[in-house]
Amino acid sequence: MNRFQTDMHNNLRLAVDSLQGISEKSKMDLETWIKEIISLKYQMETLADQKGYSINCKRSIPICKGECCKWHYPRNLTHVDFFIAIFNMGEEQKALLSKKILGAKYDHCPMLLKTGCFLSFEQRPVLCTNAYPCFSDHSYWIEKEKKNILFKKAFDCILKIKFISD
Ligand code: SF4
Ligand code: SF4
């Protein structure tokens, strides 16, 4: 097993453990920030859509077969990334995700399926919002840089609520 697979799996386990016995108050606060992250991701996706990236990407997938997720995927996802990804995930899907990470045989993202990403758009790591490497222009990246400040604020709040003050 690759080093990054081990790290990913350890971080997934840490995230799963962190969800155990979480108080209702913390859960509500965390949900607010996770919703903020999802909303920011949708804003970036809307921009990508307006610029025509989404449709060009969709049309290219039969040929590129998700090349970006093979070579540019995030190898350094933290337990917070996984915590956000699994926050609203069912037990069966969590077990499947664990199996996918441990069982990945190729040097590409363990969450990449033949049909696309194992995770839904909402659950996808923020780092995967660095999407459309084939098409993105300067203005898209400038907008992403601006959003990164807001992403970081939401991540910091999640860390504070669950992983620092707990
Ligand atoms: S998590 Fe999903 S979107 Fe991100 S690199 Fe892996 S397969 Fe691609
Ligand atoms: S961004 Fe490029 S490599 Fe990635 S799925 Fe779209 S067309 Fe393929």
How many domains does the chain fold into?
A: 1
- The answer, yes or no, to whether any atom of ligand 2 lies below 6 A from the CB of 150, is no
The 10s digit of each residue's pLDDT in 126-137 is 988 767 888 888
Choosing from 89, 107, 111 the residue with most ligand 1 atoms within 8 A of its CB, the one to mutate for a pocket test is 111
- The count of other CB atoms within 10 Å of the CB of residue 70 is 14
Position 165 pLDDT exceeds 60: no
Q: How far is the CA of 81 from the centre of ligand 1 (A)?
A: 12
| For ligand 1, atom 2: residue with the closest CA | 117
Can you give the pTM of this predicted structure? 0.88
Q: Which residue has the higher pLDDT, 121 or 82?
A: 82
Q: Which residue range is the domain that position 62 belongs to? A: 3-164
The DSSP letter of residue 24 is H
How big is the CA angle at 152 (ends 88 and 24), to the nearest 5 degrees? 35
Yes or no: say if 5 and 110 are a contact pair by the CB < 8 Å rule.
yes
pLDDT at residue 53, rounded to an integer: 93
Three-state DSSP at 112 gives strand
Query: Is residue 115's pLDDT more than 90?
Result: no
- Which ligand has the minimum distance to the alpha carbon of residue 41? 1
State pLDDT tens for residues 58-111: 899 889 888 888 887 888 899 999 999 999 999 999 999 999 999 887 778 899
Q: What is the pLDDT of residue 166?
A: 54
Whether the predicted pLDDT of 153 surpasses 80: yes
**pLDDT > 90: percent of the chain:** 59
Q: Give the pLDDT confidence score for residue 164 in this predicted structure.
A: 65
